[in-house]
Amino acid sequence: MTTLQQWRDHFEALRAYDEAVALLYWDMRTYMPEQSADNRSKSIGFLSTESFRRRTGTAYQTLLEAMGQETLTGVEAVSYAKAKQAYDRDSKIPEAEYQTFITLISEAESVWEKAKDADDWDLFAPYLEKIVAMERKFVEYWGYDNHPYDALLHDYEPGMTVAELDPLFAELRQAIITLLKQLDGKTFPTLDWSADRETQIRLNHEWLQDIGYDFTAGRLDETVHPFQTTINRKDARVTTKYDENDYRNSVFGTMHEAGHATYEQGIAPELDTLGLGEGASMGIHESQSLFFENFIGRNQGFLSARYAGLQRAIPSLTDVPFETFYAAVNEVKPSLIRIEADELTYALHIIIRYELEKRLITGELEVKDLPAEWNRLYKEYLGVDVPTNAKGVLQDVHWSGGSFGYFPSYALGLVYSAQLNEALRRDVAHVDQLIADGTLAPIKEWLNVNIHQHGKAKTPAELIQAATGQSISVQPLIDYLTAKYTRVVEAL
């Protein structure tokens, strides 16, 4: 068997393990009978370990060396380069330290949960101190050219650097704060957001049909903590939950997850056996979900074309004019909790975490000073007073899991989605009309050609450059937000 064939077989084997583990997990979160939990966890653990061994064991090392001897071109060369880079990066951390880290974050996650529930910062702080100390060490093992935080960014947004992010985030922050000032004193309409479960289920299915989510290569199911999961390349599933007091989470959350799933459905299947069958980065992935959530789901024409149907389904909307509904859906309200933030202020939450993470990693900021600094930035950027650490520094799970460098992806997703939206409108005629009509094929096709199909065979920067003709820029997002909130304000 040729080395290349062995290489493909290796990734096909990993794909099979991934499919099994993803399905075991999806089922656990949707349909599994309760008594199944113990055995299920053991099976997931066992198969994940088997898969991990194949990704790291001596057979793989030998194969990697053999591939290094081959003359490779095109996507096969990319496959090898990415695999080699990941392997080299992983092997820089001494195994004993990696084990310590895994144990630490596994403990820290449950301590964080308790600390958040009890609003007890002191309980969590010692764990976070250890985690930050290890992140600092890892950064030195991995190495970096300019800024230690670059080594962490790399895991989630390959090629991204502090030198590039700093000015982008500064510009974005300033623009949002300016827009916020313009909204000052405006009052958004208050609506009744309740809708029964059956109505929400029906709306979700209708909307996903409308936007052309491919139900022959996916599903929509109910769960407690919604997620998107890829069972295999043609089986990208969406989950959602139904809050009868507020249907916004369900309808927009489902659009969001369907964006992730549509990306996954569109990756060229042949990339799977080269280890390239996944999103280019967390930021690019998030750009697709945010594109579906904001640029389709919250599109004025999309909502307006469906408003009569919404009014029939949800009696409390009967006497609400569309303009009032649209303004209410787009309410801006600086708040404490990131995952409840509106479209405009969301990026400020991310920028705060980015700034804190960066300074924690360089040592400019120590864990003990984190709550005070958190509260200061929330006041400065969002104008809100943080009453408790549970609603402040303790609100996110990420740090307890050692995920430093991940947060910027959320804001990068916003930035990319606006760049793609602008480029799409340059290349495809009558985008708003297509969205209103639910004739999304040309839009999906454009996203597929420019983003989806490439999987991670291209870097985020390559994708954005090729799709938009420009490098990363926050201007399209600022223009979009400015135009949108000018329109929203007019209706208030």
Q: Which residues bind a second copy (CB under 8 A)?
A: 12-13, 15-17, 19-21, 23-24, 27, 31-36, 38-40, 42-43, 46-47, 214-219, 231-235
User: Nearer to a second copy by C-beta: 220 or 415?
Assistant: 220
Smallest gap from residue 48 Cβ to a second copy (A) = 10
Which amino acid would we find at residue 460?
Answer: P
User: Nearer to a second copy by C-beta: 23 or 365?
Assistant: 23
Exactly one of 257, 264, 293, 343 is catalytic; name it.
257
**Beta pairing class for 235-240 and 228-232:** antiparallel
Whether 257 sits among the annotated catalytic residues: the reply is: yes
Smallest gap from residue 13 Cβ to a second copy (A) = 6
For residues 443 and 431, the answer to whether their CB atoms sit within 8 Å is: yes
Closest CA to 401 of 131, 119, 138: 131
User: Nearer to a second copy by C-beta: 36 or 375?
Assistant: 36
**Is 454 part of any known ligand binding site?**
no
Smallest gap from residue 39 Cβ to a second copy (A) = 4
User: Nearer to a second copy by C-beta: 60 or 193?
Assistant: 60
Tokens of 428: 């495809």
Tokens of 212: 């052309």
DSSP β-bridge partners for residue 238: 220, 228
**Is 286 part of any known ligand binding site?**
yes
User: Nearer to a second copy by C-beta: 218 or 226?
Assistant: 218
Closest CA to 332 of 172, 178, 148: 178
Smallest gap from residue 45 Cβ to a second copy (A) = 8
Smallest gap from residue 43 Cβ to a second copy (A) = 4
User: Nearer to a second copy by C-beta: 272 or 396?
Assistant: 272
Q: Burial, 171: exposed, middle or buried (Cβ in 10 Å; 0-12, 13-18, 19+)?
A: middle
User: Nearer to a second copy by C-beta: 32 or 489?
Assistant: 32
3-state secondary structure the chain: CCHHHHHHHHHHHHHHHHHHHHHHHHHHHHCCCHHHHHHHHHHHHHHHHHHHHHHHCHHHHHHHHHHHHCCCCHHHHHHHHHHHHHHHHHHCCCHHHHHHHHHHHHHHHHHHHHHHHHCCHHHHHHHHHHHHHHHHHHHHHHCCCCCHHHHHHHHHCCCCCHHHHHHHHHHHHHHHHHHHHHHCCCCCCCCCCCCCHHHHHHHHHHHHHHCCCCHHHCCEEECCCCCEEEEECCEEEEEECCCCCCHHHHHHHHHHHHHHHHHHHHCCHHHHHHCCCCCCCHHHHHHHHHHHHHHHHCCHHHHHHHHHHHHHHCHHHCCCCHHHHHHHHCCCCCCCCHHHCCCCCHHHHHHHHHHHHHHHHHCCCCHHHHHHHHHHHHHHHHCCCCCCCCCCCCCCCHHHHCCCCCCHHHHHHHHHHHHHHHHHHHHCCCHHHHHHHCCCHHHHHHHHHHCHHHCCCCCHHHHHHHHHCCCCCCHHHHHHHHHHHHHHHHHC
**Is 260 part of any known ligand binding site?**
yes
Residue ranges of the annotated binding site for Zn(2+) are 256, 260, 286
Residue ranges of the annotated binding site are 256, 260, 286
- Enumerate the active-site residues: 257
